[in-house]
């Protein structure tokens, strides 16, 4: 937990006063927001997709898209008014004194430059210097440029390697010469973080900086940001939907809705007693083990689109505590107590007496306990699955080695069960998911679906098994409207013979042709929380969270029996995540759907999953029920993973630091693959891979600590 007492007397480094950003038509996207950040302080901005958080960040750094402009307010960095600076001087500030980690690294990194060249460019343009201004209050002139790479700039090259190593990229000396397309999404995000820190900024804007990272790397990156902040006094604006990260990192928090900040408080006050009904619902939407048998408190409706902001309180149409005044009069800002304010009629002195209504109680779902997969027929059964990629060299492209992405995995999933697959980036989780669908050809092993072998018949059960991919930017065709994307699967894949057809497919079957298909599409959009009218828009017109909902709707369109979900909620804020988890759980309980859920969000695993497999370097190292694995982990790697999970309470168990980096699957260590990083390693761990030890009927582990 971070104390804010030491920050109370510090000068404000970044001050935002009534900042307004609007379209050319005059419609406000950011509507009069105000907050301050002191040196060494972290201010977190919370809210759903479409609330204006990222646009607020772009307004501060003056990187607004065409047709959008700052129309009012003041942004001061020290004594410098950033909105009044000419663009030439703003370029000196941007990237140096004021840096930003963008949410989508795939769109922010230059695809034709190596990551080392992009890091070196930042170092040359923004050599570290203390924050200062001249007598006129203008930004300082940049220092003389450092030498170019290749011209006696070994210090720049070594600094690039050091930056990549700091953010957890293995084999940084080699990776520094690679291009962005050669890296995973998580690695590209880490490169973005390294670029932002390269200039040692006075203020860092971090827009979802750990969204694509697994929990061990997330813990490492957050610790790096905290250490950098403690060493340099850097101020940080943190935009995130992960309340656990906010609890761990933030000193003060602002909650944003429809372009306005509706609540602002220090972290302790906000987490102990949230005031605004919107903030309360965000907290109620967080999944955990205690809510397994009840729906999460998803917020009805959606953030109002631009140009259709309702009169009165903007949250009133979705608020279960609203009354007549909320619909007719916009609430003023009310300072409830020192340091905590809210924009809500419930806290105005004369309005409290008139407040009527009662908070709706959540209904409880009857507990659903399908039998464990070991005791019931398996819908999917995988035995010793291997996916090896050849390493070729020379003119003749001879095979000189193998990348063992998946190396002998066995698992089973029964109808109505959810198997969660967790592990670090690069351990083979996504490759395994694609191999099950035959999108990647397995090297060896067996994959049986409903008792039929799929290895030699890759097109069987294509509709019955569907996948929700991690990156909706890459998986949605940018040239097709949403209706065309959803209809494409319906046309290409006939619905499997049900045992239990989904309701949207059943309804559509009553109608033939395009009209019937459009009815199915409308119902699909309803189920994933999107407006029916949005089906005529293109993917680029949606936020990241909305695109992920479209991807889920596409997977559900052909009535699958098994859904392979590859980080389907990683891009979603907590309220939309609650909608998706409620949808997945209700469909599973009613129609016996099975899920393979690939995720690094342990809270989602606790809420949704029945069983867990922990994967490391292509192999399963521990498996069992959620209660067995998450409450009593036995493998040292599982213990390290769970220790790195940020908790909404702000207190996590002692972080287990793992030595070194994830080894290369092209050259796995001898013996136990985890031995080089294991804090409990023994001599025999380097000699032989541990056999499977059955700890109970449903709990297995591969570790010499538990062999006789």
Compute the mean pLDDT over every residue in the chain, rounded to the nearest whole number: 82
Measured in whole angstroms, the distance separating CA 603 from the mean position of its chain's CA atoms is 13
Residues 6+ apart with CB under 8 A from 365: 293, 294, 295, 585, 589
What was the pLDDT predicted at 190? 84
704, β-bridge pairs: none
Q: What are phi and psi of 427, to 5 degrees?
A: -85, -10
| pLDDT exceeds cutoff 80 at 504 | no
Tell me the percentage of the chain whose pLDDT exceeds 90. Answer: 41
Q: What is residue 702's three-state secondary structure? A: strand
Strand 380-393 relative to strand 692-694: parallel, antiparallel, unpaired?
unpaired
The Cα 163–Cα 250 span in angstroms is 24
Least confident of 290-294, 342-346, 627-631, 675-679: 290-294
The confidence band for 137, taking pLDDT boundaries of 50, 70 and 90, is very low
Higher pLDDT, 600 or 67: 67
Higher pLDDT, 672 or 586: 672
Q: What is residue 304's three-state secondary structure? A: coil
- State the average pLDDT over residues 119-131: 73
The Cα 200–Cα 195 span in angstroms is 10
What was the pLDDT predicted at 138? 45
Query: What is the DSSP secondary structure assignment for residue 9, as one 8-state letter?
Result: T
- State the average pLDDT over residues 245-270: 94
Strand 444-449 relative to strand 380-393: parallel, antiparallel, unpaired?
antiparallel
Class of domain 373-706: alpha beta
- State the average pLDDT over residues 665-689: 92
Tokens of 551: 């991807």
For 609-634, write each residue's pLDDT tens digit: 999 999 999 999 999 999 999 999 99
What was the pLDDT predicted at 183? 84
What was the pLDDT predicted at 513? 52
Least confident of 109-118, 204-213, 261-270, 300-309: 300-309
| pLDDT exceeds cutoff 60 at 549 | yes
The confidence band for 71, taking pLDDT boundaries of 50, 70 and 90, is very high
CB 475 within 8 A of CB 564: no
| pLDDT exceeds cutoff 80 at 267 | yes
The Cα 649–Cα 630 span in angstroms is 18
Helix axes 115-125, 154-166, angle to 10 degrees: 110
CB 587 within 8 A of CB 502: yes
Strand 465-468 relative to strand 42-46: parallel, antiparallel, unpaired?
unpaired
398, β-bridge pairs: 393
The Cα 21–Cα 696 span in angstroms is 59
| pLDDT exceeds cutoff 50 at 277 | yes
Q: CA-CA distances (angstroms) from residue 572 to 261, 411, 468, 567?
A: 20, 28, 14, 10
Give DSSP secondary structure letters for 55-77: HHHHHHHT-PPTTEEEEEEEEEE
CB 415 within 8 A of CB 596: no
Q: What are phi and psi of 151, to 5 degrees?
A: -120, 60
The confidence band for 145, taking pLDDT boundaries of 50, 70 and 90, is very low
| pLDDT exceeds cutoff 80 at 238 | yes
Residue 662: half-sphere exposure toward Cβ, Cα within 13 Å? 20
Tokens of 509: 């079957």
CB 209 within 8 A of CB 193: yes
Contacts 24+ apart (CB under 8 A), 357-362: 357/320, 357/321, 357/322, 357/323, 359/320, 359/321, 360/320, 362/294, 362/295, 362/297
- State the average pLDDT over residues 573-585: 81
The Cα 206–Cα 100 span in angstroms is 6
pTM for the whole thing?
0.77
369-375-377-380 Cα dihedral, nearest 10 degrees? 80
| pLDDT exceeds cutoff 50 at 218 | yes
CB 622 within 8 A of CB 701: yes
Question: Can you say whether the dihedral through the CA atoms of 369, 375, 378, 381 is positive or negative?
Answer: positive
Query: What is the DSSP secondary structure assignment for residue 16, as one 8-state letter?
Result: E
The confidence band for 35, taking pLDDT boundaries of 50, 70 and 90, is very high
What was the pLDDT predicted at 166? 83
The Cα 365–Cα 590 span in angstroms is 12
Q: What is the CA radius of gyration of the chain?
A: 26
Tokens of 177: 């010469």
Higher pLDDT, 96 or 529: 96
The confidence band for 456, taking pLDDT boundaries of 50, 70 and 90, is confident
Query: What region, left, alpha or beta, does residue 549 occupy, with left being phi > 0 and alpha being psi -120 to 50 degrees?
Result: alpha
| pLDDT exceeds cutoff 50 at 373 | no
Tokens of 664: 């290369």
Could you count the other beta carbons within 10 Å of the beta carbon of residue 272?
Answer: 8
Helices (runs of H) and strands (runs of E) counted in the chain? 23, 24
| pLDDT exceeds cutoff 60 at 379 | yes
Higher pLDDT, 139 or 454: 454
The confidence band for 153, taking pLDDT boundaries of 50, 70 and 90, is low
What was the pLDDT predicted at 538? 93
> Rounded to the nearest 5 degrees, what angle is found at the Cα of 218, between the Cα atoms of 214 and 219?
125
CB 643 within 8 A of CB 653: yes
The runs of H, that is alpha helices, within 532-617 are 544-556, 574-591, 602-608
What was the pLDDT predicted at 353? 44
The confidence band for 269, taking pLDDT boundaries of 50, 70 and 90, is very high
CB 434 within 8 A of CB 440: yes
Determine whether 370 is exposed, middle or buried from the number of CB atoms within 10 Å of its CB (0-12, 13-18, 19+).
middle
Tell me the percentage of the chain whose pLDDT exceeds 70. Answer: 85
What was the pLDDT predicted at 432? 94
205, β-bridge pairs: 100, 237
| pLDDT exceeds cutoff 50 at 351 | no
CB 703 within 8 A of CB 675: no
Q: Where are the domains of the chain?
A: 11-250, 373-706
The confidence band for 128, taking pLDDT boundaries of 50, 70 and 90, is low
CB 572 within 8 A of CB 545: yes
What was the pLDDT predicted at 349? 58
Tokens of 280: 């309360």
Where is 492: in which H helix or E strand?
A: helix 482-492
The confidence band for 72, taking pLDDT boundaries of 50, 70 and 90, is very high
Tokens of 533: 């009218």
Shared fold status for 11-250 and 373-706: yes
Q: What is residue 124's three-state secondary structure? A: helix
CATH number of 11-250: 3.40.50.300
Of the candidates 386, 407, 436, which has an alpha carbon nearest to the alpha carbon of residue 565? 436
Sheet holding 444-449, edge to edge: 398-413, 380-393, 444-449, 452-453
The Cα 624–Cα 419 span in angstroms is 9
The Cα 422–Cα 583 span in angstroms is 22
């Amino acid at each position: 937990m971070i104390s804010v007492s030491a920050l109370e007397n510090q000068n404000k480094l970044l001050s935002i006063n009534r900042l307004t950003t609007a379209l050319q038509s005059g419609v406000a996207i950011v509507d009069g927001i105000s907050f301050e950040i002191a040196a060494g302080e972290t201010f977190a901005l919370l809210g759903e997709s479409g609330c204006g958080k990222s646009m607020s960040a772009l307004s501060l750094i003056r990187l607004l898209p065409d047709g959008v402009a700052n129309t009012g307010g003041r942004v001061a960095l020290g004594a410098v008014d950033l909105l009044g600076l000419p663009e030439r001087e703003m370029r000196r500030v941007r990237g140096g004194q004021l840096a930003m980690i963008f949410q989508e690294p795939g769109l922010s990194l230059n695809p034709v430059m190596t990551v080392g060249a992009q890091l070196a460019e930042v170092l040359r343009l923004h050599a570290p210097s203390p924050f200062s201004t001249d007598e006129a209050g203008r930004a300082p002139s940049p220092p003389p440029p450092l030498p170019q790479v290749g011209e006696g700039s070994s210090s720049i090259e070594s600094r690039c390697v050091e930056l990549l190593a700091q953010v957890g990229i293995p084999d940084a000396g080699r990776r520094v010469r690679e291009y962005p397309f050669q890296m995973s999404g998580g690695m590209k995000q880490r490169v973005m973080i390294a670029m932002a820190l390269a200039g040692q900024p006075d203020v860092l804007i971090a827009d979802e900086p750990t969204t694509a990272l697994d929990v061990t790397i997330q813990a490492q990156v957050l610790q790096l940001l905290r250490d950098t902040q403690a060493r340099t006094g850097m101020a940080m604006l943190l935009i995130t939907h992960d309340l656990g990260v906010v609890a761990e990192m933030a000193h003060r928090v602002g909650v944003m809705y429809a372009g306005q900040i509706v609540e602002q408080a220090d972290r302790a006050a906000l987490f102990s007693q949230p005031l605004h009904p919107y903030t309360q619902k965000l907290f109620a939407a967080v999944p955990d083990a205690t809510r397994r048998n009840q729906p999460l408190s998803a917020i009805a409706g959606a953030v109002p689109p631009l140009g259709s902001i309702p009169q009165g309180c903007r949250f009133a149409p979705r608020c279960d505590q609203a009354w007549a005044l909320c619909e007719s009069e916009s609430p003023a800002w009310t300072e409830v107590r020192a340091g905590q304010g809210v924009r809500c009629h419930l806290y105005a002195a004369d309005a409290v007496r008139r407040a009527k209504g009662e908070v709706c109680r959540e209904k409880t779902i009857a507990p659903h306990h399908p039998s464990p997969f070991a005791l019931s027929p398996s819908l999917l059964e995988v035995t010793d699955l291997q996916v090896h990629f050849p390493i070729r060299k020379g003119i003749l492209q001879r095979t000189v080695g193998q990348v063992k992405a998946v190396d002998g995995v066995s698992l089973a999933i029964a109808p109505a069960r959810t198997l969660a697959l967790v592990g670090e980036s690069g351990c083979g989780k996504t490759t395994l998911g694609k191999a099950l669908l035959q999108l990647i050809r397995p090297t060896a092993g067996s994959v049986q679906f409903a008792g039929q072998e799929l290895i030699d018949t890759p097109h069987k059960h294509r509709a019955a098994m569907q996948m929700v991919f991690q990156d909706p930017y890459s998986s949605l065709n940018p040239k097709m409207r949403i209706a065309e994307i959803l209809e494409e699967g319906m046309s290409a894949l006939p619905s499997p013979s049900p045992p239990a057809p989904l309701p949207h497919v059943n309804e559509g079957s009553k109608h033939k042709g395009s009209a019937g298909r459009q009815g199915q599409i409308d119902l699909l959009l309803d189920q994933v929380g999107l407006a029916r009218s949005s089906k005529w828009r293109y993917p680029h017109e949606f936020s990241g969270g909305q695109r992920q909902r479209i991807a889920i709707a596409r997977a559900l369109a052909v009535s699958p029996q098994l859904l392979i979900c590859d980080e389907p909620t990683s891009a979603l804020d907590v309220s939309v995540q609650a909608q998706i988890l409620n949808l997945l759980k209700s469909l599973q309980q009613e129609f016996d759907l099975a899920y393979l859920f690939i995720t690094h969000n342990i809270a989602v695993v606790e809420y949704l999953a029945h069983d867990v497999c922990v994967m490391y370097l292509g192999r399963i190292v521990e498996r069992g029920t959620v209660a067995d694995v998450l409450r009593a982990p036995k493998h040292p790697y599982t213990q390290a993973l769970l220790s790195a999970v940020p908790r909404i309470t702000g207190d996590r168990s002692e972080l287990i630091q793992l030595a070194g980096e994830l080894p290369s699957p092209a050259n796995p260590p001898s013996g136990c693959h985890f031995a080089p990083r294991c804090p409990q390693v023994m001599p025999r761990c380097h000699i032989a891979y541990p056999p499977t030890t059955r700890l109970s009927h449903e709990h297995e582990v591969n570790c010499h600590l538990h062999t006789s």
